[in-house]
Amino acid sequence: IVDTPDPYLVVHIRTAPDGKKATKNIDNEINPEWDEELSYLLPPHEYLPIKAEINLMDANYAVDEKLGSVEFDVSTIPLEETVFKTFSFNEVGLPFVLCRCDQDIRSSLALCTEEKEFRSARKRSAFTAMRNTMVGGPRSLRETPTIAILGSGGGFRAMTGMSGAIKALSDSGILNCATYICGLSGSSWYISLLYANADFPEKGTTAINAEIRNNIASSPFWLLRPECLMRYSHRLHTKMKAGQPVTFTDFFGLLIGQTLLGPDRMETAKLTDFQEKIHGGKAPMPILTCLHVRPDMSAMTFHDWVEFSPFEIGMAKYGTFMKSKYFGSKFFMGVLAKEYEEYPLHFLMGIWGSAFSILFNRLVEKSKGIKPSNMSHNEDMRTILGKEIADSDDEEEYWDASEEEQIRKAEDKLFQDKLLQSREYRAGKILNYMRGIAINRTYPISPFSPLSGGQENTIAEADEFQKIHEPMEVKKKKVHLVDAGLTFNSPYPCILRPQRAVDLIISFDFSGRPQEVCEPFKEILLAEKWARMHHLPFPKIDRTVYETEGLKECYVFQDHSDDRAPIIMHFVLCNILFRKYSKPGVERLPGDTRGDFNIYDPKSPYSTFNFQYPNEAFDRLHELVEFNTLLHIETIKDQIRQCITLRRHSQARCSITLNDIRNSFHMSDKNKKSLERR
């Protein structure tokens, strides 16, 4: 008995992503015609051959048989031409076409078209809001300042504090005046929940604040029961089998999503859903942040800020951005090689707050009654995370294993104690969207800002920001993403981009401090240093103001010698007047002790690593930050008026001048000469 073959072709190009593809098999056919197209993304081939290994296979019930194999150098095909090749096994003929591909990565320092359209619509909304909210509002759109609201990291403390701040800004009308709202770690969780809530922005923040209050009243560690772990394991196996990397951050994202979003909403909520929330400029545009880091280097030494908006995700350092729905998909040389389903919001929340996934063993100990040390988010976390995130090899042998072997290894690594100490699985990990893109140099976030000397003197420690101007490794298949609080705990970089031209920054710092009376400028001083190293206008942070004025709820910093620098309102987490007043100007009744509590006391519930807030603890912190914000609403309005005055009396409210462009070392001599005639 002679078995008629069931032939199919396997074409393998090792230098291409997804380089191994096959046709369908045709049953019982000795002269097959497949009529299929196999597409590959190939690197430039000026110097090296690109070998395609073509195997003719026979499909069998047990083991498929190789009937023949040949190699062909694809780089010999002229561009945009079709070449028909006939190969030796049974005179099989195959056409080859080599053509150019349009990039799916946007390469530019400019804002995307969608954000520009949003800014135009939001400018009109903010103009109306300022006119209705305050005396001395802008007289024209040109006089309308761009306002950004920033929230720091700090776990559930930052999330709860941000809920109080945004409620105060919403009730007072200031939120309607803002163009951007930016978050990091814990604050990014609140912003995500706010924009994922059906009632926002039309009905304000009441519903989501009540929902958060209810969700964090009980410990999330009930989600570590076997039935929950089994469900999470299945999700991670599915992602893993699809070819996407899986780390402990995925698991933590599921845990956070189940706790904060709830089981129903976590199934559907996505970042791109927020586009509808800001359509027509009806709410500030949310920007969330994390860091790209090298696996073998401290985050303080090398990092790239990654920004997430409803429209795009990318890194301004390289001027490369992708549509938000493509985040996590496979790219090669800027072209979308394989599109995966958009990541759910809870996965992004896990990345934005990945510091807590890495310290999960401490949290588990706490849930068992073992009290961890009350560490600062900014000190111990940076030490543990920033210096130890690493993986041994980007080309894991793991992916060459069988499906059963992959699942077994994942189970072993995901749920055993040594995972929590493993370098490989500490950070979030995604496919490298810049893989194969040629990077000869990085470009400044503000490319035309004048250079000034003495920048090396801004580095206080040997490794602090030492290699932030170096490019990333584009040959790696995967990249590591971590909590942005590993550098400084407030998302200034995304809002300091000159393209966003922000006039006023209202920043809420919920960072940990050893004691409440400690100087509250550590994070903003690091932000100032980062800005100076990138030649970005930033007001001088005068530390002596703490010595002369003491601890207070809000500090205002302005550079009177440089109108291009934004005015910064630095709100500090502290409990001063709230002890005596229930509302601004309203003294507490005798016996009312709700305001009598310490935030940074070792026995307080507000540790960075506490993931359970009883209702009373939530209410106290929420109302404290709301009170502190309302206390300075008139100060905020004063600073808005100051920005209006600056715009009114400035010929052009720009972060750069024409002379800056003329003198830029990025400008070619030809372009400089053309500018000299203007």
pLDDT tens column, 98-118: 676 778 999 998 999 999 999
* Confidence label for 377 from pLDDT (cuts 50, 70 and 90): very low
Global pTM reads 0.83
* Confidence label for 31 from pLDDT (cuts 50, 70 and 90): confident
The two structure tokens encoding residue 302? 């090398």
* Confidence label for 92 from pLDDT (cuts 50, 70 and 90): low
Q: Report percent pLDDT > 90 for the chain.
A: 55
Question: Looking at beta carbons, which pairs linking 38-42 to residues 24 or more positions away fall under 8 Å?
Answer: 38/11, 40/13, 40/16, 41/16, 41/17, 41/101, 41/332, 41/333, 41/335, 41/337, 42/13, 42/15, 42/16, 42/74, 42/75, 42/98
Confidence (pLDDT) at 34 = 87
Task: Decide if domain 7-98 falls under CATH 1.10.150.530.
Answer: no
Name the range with the highest mean pLDDT among 223-227, 336-340, 614-618.
614-618
Residue 652: pLDDT over 80: no
400 burial level (CB within 10 Å; 0-12, 13-18, 19+): exposed
Residue 286: pLDDT over 90: yes
* Confidence label for 463 from pLDDT (cuts 50, 70 and 90): low
Phi/psi at 479 (nearest 5 deg)?
-130, 155
**356 vs 580, residue with greater confidence:** 580
pLDDT, one tens digit per residue, over 415-439 is 444 444 444 566 889 999 999 887 7
Confidence (pLDDT) at 406 = 46
Q: Report percent pLDDT > 70 for the chain.
A: 80
Tell which phi-psi region holds residue 436, choosing left (phi > 0), alpha (psi between -120 and 50) or beta.
Answer: left
| Lowest model confidence (mean pLDDT) among 1-5, 71-75, 83-87, 509-513 | 1-5
Rounded average pLDDT over 217-235: 80
Catalytic residue among 483, 490, 655, 664: 483
Residue 588: pLDDT over 90: yes
- Residue 12: strand pairing partners: 20, 53
| Lowest model confidence (mean pLDDT) among 47-61, 325-339, 453-467 | 453-467
**134 vs 230, residue with greater confidence:** 134
- Residue 87: strand pairing partners: 92
Rounded average pLDDT over 608-620: 93
* Pairwise CA distance, residues 325 & 348, whole Å: 12
Confidence (pLDDT) at 392 = 36
Confidence (pLDDT) at 363 = 54
The two structure tokens encoding residue 653? 């409210």
Confidence (pLDDT) at 402 = 47
**175 vs 412, residue with greater confidence:** 175
Question: Looking at beta carbons, which pairs linking 196-202 to residues 24 or more positions away fall under 8 Å?
Answer: 196/261, 196/265, 196/269, 196/273, 196/274, 196/345, 200/277, 200/283, 201/277, 201/282, 201/283
The DSSP H or E segment spanning 235 is: helix 226-241
* Confidence label for 68 from pLDDT (cuts 50, 70 and 90): confident
Q: Is position 483 annotated as part of the catalytic site?
A: yes
> Smallest Cα–Cα separation from 90: which of 63, 118, 54, 114?
54
Residue 614: pLDDT over 60: yes
Longest alpha-carbon distance in the chain = 101
Residue 374: pLDDT over 50: no
Confidence (pLDDT) at 297 = 85
Tell which phi-psi region holds residue 638, choosing left (phi > 0), alpha (psi between -120 and 50) or beta.
Answer: alpha
**213 vs 387, residue with greater confidence:** 213
pLDDT, one tens digit per residue, over 533-545 is 999 999 999 999 9
**285 vs 54, residue with greater confidence:** 285
Confidence (pLDDT) at 358 = 59
* Confidence label for 657 from pLDDT (cuts 50, 70 and 90): low
The DSSP H or E segment spanning 533 is: helix 522-533
Catalytic residue among 185, 187, 449, 607: 185
CB 473 within 8 A of CB 294: yes
* Confidence label for 488 from pLDDT (cuts 50, 70 and 90): very high
Query: What single-letter amino acid sits at 354?
Result: S
Confidence (pLDDT) at 443 = 61
Residue 13: pLDDT over 70: yes
What is the gyration radius of the CA atoms in the chain, in angstroms? 28
Residue 381: pLDDT over 90: no
Confidence (pLDDT) at 376 = 43
Q: In angstroms, what CA-CA distances link 614 with 67, 108, 162, 374, 608?
A: 69, 47, 17, 19, 15
Q: Structural domain boundaries of the chain? A: 7-98, 106-446+468-649
Round to the nearest angstrom and report the end-to-end CA distance of the chain. Answer: 87
Rounded average pLDDT over 655-675: 61
Q: Would you call 62 helix, strand, or coil by DSSP?
A: coil
Computed over every residue of the chain, the mean pLDDT equals 84
Rounded average pLDDT over 512-532: 93
Q: Is position 601 annotated as part of the catalytic site?
A: no
Residue 5: pLDDT over 50: yes
**423 vs 620, residue with greater confidence:** 620
Rounded average pLDDT over 465-484: 89
- Residue 338: strand pairing partners: 330
Confidence (pLDDT) at 459 = 44
Residue 492: pLDDT over 60: yes
CB 614 within 8 A of CB 622: no
Residue 50: pLDDT over 90: no
Rounded average pLDDT over 252-263: 91
CATH number of 106-446+468-649, picked from 3.20.20.140, 1.10.3720.10, 3.90.25.10, 3.40.1090.10: 3.40.1090.10
Confidence (pLDDT) at 77 = 80
| Lowest model confidence (mean pLDDT) among 92-96, 249-253, 336-340 | 92-96
